[in-house]
Chains A and B, each alone.
Chain A
Amino acid sequence: MNTSFFSSALSQLDEKYIEEALSYPRTAKHHWWVKLGAAACFALVFTTVLFLSSSRSGQSGVTSPGLPPAVITTTPVSVENSPSETPGEPQPSETIHIDLGNIVVNRNLDAMPDAARIYYDPELYDEVLWDQEDVIGYYGRDLIPSWVPDGLTALNPEAVLRAQIRKEDGTVAEDTLHLSFYQVYGTWDDGSPRLIDENTVRHGFTLSASKVGLFNCGIVYVRLEDAVKASDIAGTPVTIGYRAMPYGPYDPETHEPAGYYDLYVAEFTLNDIKLQVVAEQMELEDVIKVVVSIIQPNLEIVFEQ
Chain B
Amino acid sequence: MAEPMPVCLLRLEDENHGLEDYQRGVPRWCTGCGDNAILAAVQRVCRSEQVAPEKTVFISGIGCSSRFPHYMNAYGFHGIHGRALPVAEGLKMIRPDLHVFVSTGDGDCCSIGTAHWIHAIRYNMDMTVVLHDNQIYGLTKMQASPTSPRGLKTKTSPRGAYLEALNPLTVTLGVPNISFVAQGVDWIPEILHDLISLAFQHKGFSFVRVLQRCPEYLPEAFDPWVKDPARTLLLTHKDGIEPSPGLTKTYRNQEVHDPLNIDRAREIASMSDPIPVGVLYRNRDVPRYEDTRDTKRYTPDAIQHVLERELDKFTIWPAD
Please say whether chains A and B are actual partners in one complex. Answer: no
Chain B interface (Cβ within 8 Å of chain A)?
none
